[in-house]
Amino acid sequence: MKLDIIAQLVQILKDAPEVGAIEIRRGLFGAWSSVRVSKAGHGSDAGHVVVTQPTLPSSPVPRAGEGGRGTGEGSTPPASHLLEIKSPMVGTFYQSPEPAAQAYVKVGSRVNVGQVVCIIEAMKIMNEIESEVAGVVKEVCVQNAQPVEFGHVLFRVDPHG
């Protein structure tokens, strides 16, 4: 991505307070494949605009933590009724406040809106991540101490459970 495009995206963030985040995903060989713009205060995919640009043809490369390697039971593809708790930042996922402590949540745990579900360490700062949904955790999609990216699915929650 060229610097002038990045500068334009930064200017959009400055000029539009309703825009909460701009996520740019790169494909193979450095070509960008999509841009996601999310509204401020929206944690779900509602309110996202996704613009895609085809990348060079290539075989798909699984990302770390995807493709059934989660720690949840079964690690199945998401059912349509499950809601996702995603990482709001790049960092390292921790399931508990300290190594010897119990995990904040695990498969079968009930979560409420605003409840701390994990910590993501970014630049030596421990950031408590709160749930934006209520329900029962059906899948933990990452392993403890695993690096995560912005938008990486951390948990899948059944709101009807």
Establish if 152 belongs to a structural domain.
yes
- Please check whether residue 55 is in contact with residue 27, taking contact to mean a CB–CB distance below 8 angstroms: yes
Establish if 115 belongs to a structural domain.
yes
What's the pTM value of the predicted model, to 2 decimals?
0.53
User: What is the domain count for the chain?
Assistant: 2
- Say yes or no: 88 and 48 in one domain: no
49-52 sheet: strands from edge to edge:
19-26, 32-39, 49-52
Establish if 19 belongs to a structural domain.
yes
Distance of CA 104 to the CA centre of its chain: 17
* Domain that residue 135 falls in: 83-158
- Say yes or no: 46 and 101 in one domain: no
Mean pLDDT of each 10-residue bin along the chain, 161 residues long = 69 72 62 60 43 41 44 49 93 93 96 95 91 95 94 94 78
Count of residues making up the chain: 161
